[in-house]
Amino acid sequence: MLEKVRDRLARPHYLSVRERALARIAAWKLTVGSDLSAVVDSLDLVELQMEMEDVGMEPTVAIKTVGDLLWLLRAIELRFKKEQRFSA
């Protein structure tokens, strides 16, 4: 249990949001056209916003669907990787 908590604190939040969304899509509980609220709550959105601010990102389009969210999460991932390359 403690390992799970430690892992959640060490990993970026966007990874767990993406895993959750993809798992629900794979189980046919969501589609990419599903409303955003079907996969994230307000706390998730706040944490994602904080991660985006950490890498100097702002979404350029409204995020309304799960598909929009997946594109945003991919952009966050690419920005994190870019930041890591330049800091290394």
pTM given for the model: 0.75
Q: Which pLDDT score, from 0 to 100, does residue 21 have?
A: 92
The conformational region for residue 77 under phi > 0 = left, psi -120 to 50 = alpha, else beta, is alpha
The whole-angstrom separation of Cα 23 and Cα 19 is 6
The total domain count for the chain is 1
Distances (CA, A) of 20 to 58, 83, 86: 22, 25, 29
- Taking only the tens place, the pLDDT of each residue in 51-84 is 888 878 887 778 899 999 899 888 888 888 887 7
Q: Which pLDDT score, from 0 to 100, does residue 82 have?
A: 80
Q: Which pLDDT score, from 0 to 100, does residue 24 have?
A: 92
Full domain range(s) for residue 46: 2-87
